[in-house]
Amino acid sequence: MSALLEVSNLKVAYGKILAVKGISLTVAKGEIVTLIGSNGAGKSTTLRTISGLLHPKAGEITFKGEKISGREGHEIVAKGICQSPEGRRIFPRMTVAENLDLGAFLRNDKAAIAEDQENVLVLFPRLRERLYQRAGTLSGGEQQMLAVGRAMMGRPELLLLDEPSMGLAPVLVELIFDTISKIREMGTTILLVEQNALAALDVADRAYVLESGLITMSGDAKELLRNDEVAKAYLGG
């Protein structure tokens, strides 16, 4: 299996505090891989390091066989990794259309950008209704759709999703996870970070369980779903 993304022995620190203590993981082309764990386990830190917002203290990240750790954020976007960040971070005073437009910031192929915008709007019809409305006036769920759609506009090979279900009503969580499957069917590989382990394991092919900066379990998502320890710790049963 040739890995699209390979993280090996990654350590990330905030000052002197080690948040990620040496983890390794791989994501193969076409997969949905999820990283689950509780608050402060280091999930978002891992994701932010992959997308170049944080720099590792040790270890290496390779994407398509090329070392990307230590590069700046915008260089990594150019390589084909886009992130929908935790807390959505849409541009609140810009319109939905302008937000989507910024997602395609590094691209020049106008026709293809228009095509991708259409794809995003098919995926999220609600965004079409709100296209020229300021993004800050959207509801939480719509903002999450926009954040995912905006990341899609970069035409990523690997899409990083950080807590897409955070703070959403159950019906919207379902919709977001349905969309994640659809995005994979469109040919995008996904690395998903989630606290909602049940939903994440349900949609994913493989999963890693992160606990205080270390991977404690990994494997087939459906098997983890049936694992007693996982159930006890993350699935409320």
List Cβ neighbours of 15 (8 Å cut-off, separation of 6 or more).
Answer: none
Order of strands, sheet of 206-211, starting from the edge strand that comes earlier in the sequence: 81-84, 158-162, 189-194, 32-36, 206-211, 214-220
CA 175, CA 107: separation in Å to the nearest integer? Answer: 28
Give me the least distance between CB of 2 and other proteins, in Å please.
26
Indicate whether 115 belongs to the interface with other proteins (CB under 8 A): no
Are the CB atoms for 27 and 191 separated by under 8 Å?
yes
> Would you count residue 109 as binding other proteins (CB under 8 A)?
no
Type and span of the H or E element at 17: strand 17-28
The smaller minimum CB distance to other proteins, of residues 118 and 223, is found at 118
In sequence order, what DSSP letters do the residues of 91-141 get, joined into one string? Answer: -TTSBHHHHHHHHTTT---HHHHHHHHHHHHHH-HHHHHTTTSBGGGS-HH
The least distance separating other proteins from the CB of residue 205, rounded to whole angstroms, comes to: 25
Residue 149 vs 224, nearer CB to other proteins = 149
- Residue closer to other proteins (CB basis): 149 or 227: 149
CA dist 2 and 202 (Å) reads 24
Query: Of 177-216, which residues contact other proteins (CB under 8 A)?
Result: none
For the segment 87-106, give every residue that binds other proteins (CB under 8 A): 88-95, 97-98, 101-103, 105-106
Is 183 within 8 Å of 152 (Cβ atoms)?
yes
Of 10 and 90, which CB lies nearer to other proteins in the complex structure?
Answer: 90
Restricting to residues 143-182, name those near other proteins by CB under 8 A. 143, 150-151, 154
Region near other proteins per CB under 8 A, out of 29-37, 125-133, 216-224, 225-233: 125-133
- Residue 223 as a binder of other proteins (CB under 8 A): the answer is no
Residue 128 sits at φ, ψ, to 5 deg, of -65, -40
Among 73, 202, 217, 225, binds other proteins (CB under 8 A): 73
189: β partners: 158
Residue with smaller CB distance to other proteins, 103 or 206: 103
80 makes contact with other proteins (CB under 8 A): no
Q: To 10 degrees, the CA torsion angle through 205, 210, 216, 222?
A: -20
Q: Which residues bind other proteins (CB under 8 A)?
A: 51-53, 72-74, 77-78, 82-83, 85, 88-95, 97-98, 101-103, 105-106, 121, 125, 128-129, 131-132, 134, 136-140, 143, 150-151, 154
